Structure 1
Amino acid sequence: MWRMARRDAIDLVGASGLVVFSTLLAANQVVIKLTNGGIGPIFGAGLRSVLALCVLGLWVWFAGRRITGLRAAFWPGLMLGGFFTIEFVMLFLALDLTTVSRASILFYSMPVWLAVVAHFALPNERLSARRVVGLGLAMAGVTWALADPQSLGAGDLRGDLLALGAAFAWMGIALAVRLTRVSKLTAETQLFFQLAVSALALIAVAPLFGPLLRDPTWLHWAGLGFQATFVASLGFLFWLGLMAIYPASDIAAFSFLSPVLAVGMGWLLLDEPVGPGFAGALTLVAVGIVLINLRRKTPAGAA
């Protein structure tokens, strides 16, 4: 298996990888919306988890990895999978109702809410003056985006609220990984819990959300395959691989790219309205996320 030595800062290879990953995440929002046109949102999310679980199994076998610690972290693992399930119930329904642009700016506001909760729940995550400014800018941007009249006319408040709920569920995943025994598990085992629990739960509840199929074509099935292979399984493992090489704070600073790219793709590919007001709101959110995620470098040898 290909490996790289641990680095102290992002280099060109790491930056290129993060740009590619952010582009994948942004494209995934568009693909979900398009796939929803032929496959019921919750059924599609469940099928995605089933297929991604198969891809994960192939990866574990090919790379000689192991899925271990299932019994030791069973209950925290179920909680992790529960948050993952809730996240994608809300996100897939959100993208069925509102625009990619509005859903993305709300969904990728997760670092904003995580920073607030982490201030009280996590050691060494106190809010500095710079991070408070970032929070203020990002929250102002989210509020501005929701109120933008041009975008509001194309969106749906129900979808907007669901996208925000998905961001909170994503925050729950981040906290579970930091605060429970899940943190001791390998990346493959963490992903197994999320995919296995969500595959069972999403398929089970899918009939409650309307028809499972909406006259799908090969394009809808291809979109589902893209999500399962390049985002929900290999994409996630690729991101965790970057986390093992580069500082987490440097990687987090790139998180502003996904909402920016998603809004751009929504405008370019789906003809969604993105006027000057919405673009200004997006800028505030992006700058705020960068300020929240920046970390002051610690001198070598400092405690």
Structure 2
Amino acid sequence: MVLLCAAWGVGQVAMKVGGEGISPLAHAGLRSIGSLALLWLWCRARGVPIVPPEGARAAAALCGALFAGEFVLVYTGLTYTTAARGVVFLYTAPCLITLLAHLLLPNDRLTRGKAAGLGLCLVALMLAFGDSLRLPSGREAIGDLLCLAGAMAWGATTITIKATRLRFAPAEATLASQLAVSALLLPLGLALGEPGIFDPSPLILGVLGFEIVLVAFGSYLAWFWLITRYRVSGLAALSFLTPVFGVLAGAVLLGEAVTLPLVTALVLICVGIWLVNRPA
């Protein structure tokens, strides 16, 4: 899970760079189309079904809609608010996932230790991005709410997988249903007047390739496999590492500054993760 967070953190930088040459919805759609093609080859080589079992198809369709909706909400939200504010509101999702797990999953209850750990992670995230968390303008408030709605879609997707027959389906089939629906974001973006790939430079195409192979195919396949086998509250807490890795990747790859609040936030997040995952 730590490796996945590192990949997603670098993926945030890749999305930022790729956005300089690909419009948002087309970007997400192209990523899903490429990853779906790789997943089909993977399933064909391994003899794994790519279609969810019959009893899980309604849940798979719902997850696909939520998965695509998350990207629409977050990409749109980031056109109204800053990236730092968007990250903070998007990463309320682990808290939402843990609360829903407490309500809907009998084997994943919220304890005082888990609540303290999640609260510490959220405070640490606000510390890391505190400079950007002033009172929002009207435009920023719209973007903040859209990113918060994206967090809700992320949480609902995770719990739907865990609480339905999808938890018994191969991870490949679960991922395929979500990539298939989110691939529709490409024609949606073009229908809304997006230019698609407007700067097909080697850097932009290389970034898109990284997102297709390592993020949307490799890391998401591993994520859906993990969901079916481990407590979602523990996985959700670990996901707080993603924005920290994203800032660190920005420092290494884009020359952005690493501040003392960021380092402090990383320490606090590690303590919070320990509180959530420690044995009872």
**TM-score of Structure 1 vs Structure 2, range by shorter chain:** 0.7 to 0.9
The 8 Å contact of residues 108 and 233 in structure 2, kept in 1 or not, is answered as: no
Q: Displacement, 1:43?
A: 0.6
Structure 2 portions without partners, runs of 5+: none
Give, as a single letter, the amino acid of the residue that structure 2 aligns with 1:215: D
Give, as a single letter, the amino acid of the residue that structure 2 aligns with 1:80: C
Q: Displacement, 1:113?
A: 1.8
Distance 2:251 2:133 in 1: 11
The 8 Å contact of residues 241 and 266 in structure 2, kept in 1 or not, is answered as: no
CA shift digits 1:77-115 (9 cap, x unpaired): 111001110122233345566665554454344222211
Q: Displacement, 1:127?
A: 2.0
> Which of residues 118, 125, 131 in structure 2 aligns to 1:149?
131
Give, as a single letter, the amino acid of the residue that structure 2 aligns with 1:179: A
Select between 112-121 and 52-61 the one with higher mean Cα deviation: 112-121
The 8 Å contact of residues 41 and 96 in structure 1, kept in 2 or not, is answered as: no
Q: Confirm or deny that 1:178 pairs with 2:162.
A: yes
The 8 Å contact of residues 80 and 176 in structure 1, kept in 2 or not, is answered as: yes
Q: Displacement, 1:45?
A: 0.3
The 8 Å contact of residues 51 and 177 in structure 2, kept in 1 or not, is answered as: no
CA shift digits 1:31-71 (9 cap, x unpaired): 01111110101111011111111000010111222224454
Give, as a single letter, the amino acid of the residue that structure 2 aligns with 1:41: P
Q: Confirm or deny that 1:269 pairs with 2:243.
A: no
SS in 2 for 1:215: coil
Distance 1:241 1:26 in 2: 20
The 8 Å contact of residues 102 and 145 in structure 1, kept in 2 or not, is answered as: no
> Which of residues 198, 204, 226 in structure 2 aligns to 1:220?
204
What RMSD in Å do the two structures reach over aligned CA positions?
Answer: 3.3
Where in structure 2 are the equivalents of 1:131-142 lying within 5 Å? 131-142=114-125
Where in structure 2 are the equivalents of 1:1-303 lying within 5 Å? 18-94=1-77, 101-145=84-128, 148-149=130-131, 159-200=143-184, 202-206=185-189, 207-208=191-192, 210-240=194-224, 254-272=238-256, 275-281=259-265, 283-292=267-276, 294-296=277-279
CA shift digits 1:249-284 (9 cap, x unpaired): 776664343222112122333344554345545554
Distance 1:145 1:209 in 2: 36
The 8 Å contact of residues 128 and 262 in structure 2, kept in 1 or not, is answered as: yes
Distance 2:115 2:13 in 1: 32
Structure 1 portions without partners, runs of 5+: 1-17, 298-303
Give, as a single letter, the amino acid of the residue that structure 1 aligns with 2:180: A
Residues 162 and 284 (structure 1), Cα distance of their counterparts in 2 relative to 1, 3 Å cut: farther
Distance 1:205 1:283 in 2: 41
TM-score scaled by length of structure 2? 0.82
Residues 158 and 289 (structure 1), Cα distance of their counterparts in 2 relative to 1, 3 Å cut: farther
CA shift digits 1:166-188 (9 cap, x unpaired): 32211111111022222231111
Residues 77 and 247 (structure 1), Cα distance of their counterparts in 2 relative to 1, 3 Å cut: closer
Residues 140 and 109 (structure 1), Cα distance of their counterparts in 2 relative to 1, 3 Å cut: same
TM-score scaled by length of structure 1? 0.76
Distance 2:268 2:144 in 1: 18
Distance 1:96 1:37 in 2: 13
Residues 117 and 53 (structure 1), Cα distance of their counterparts in 2 relative to 1, 3 Å cut: same
Distance 1:247 1:115 in 2: 9
Residues 264 and 151 (structure 1), Cα distance of their counterparts in 2 relative to 1, 3 Å cut: farther
SS in 2 for 1:232: helix
The 8 Å contact of residues 116 and 275 in structure 2, kept in 1 or not, is answered as: yes
Residues 158 and 29 (structure 1), Cα distance of their counterparts in 2 relative to 1, 3 Å cut: farther
Give, as a single letter, the amino acid of the residue that structure 2 aligns with 1:224: L
Distance 2:95 2:188 in 1: 30
Residues 286 and 160 (structure 1), Cα distance of their counterparts in 2 relative to 1, 3 Å cut: farther
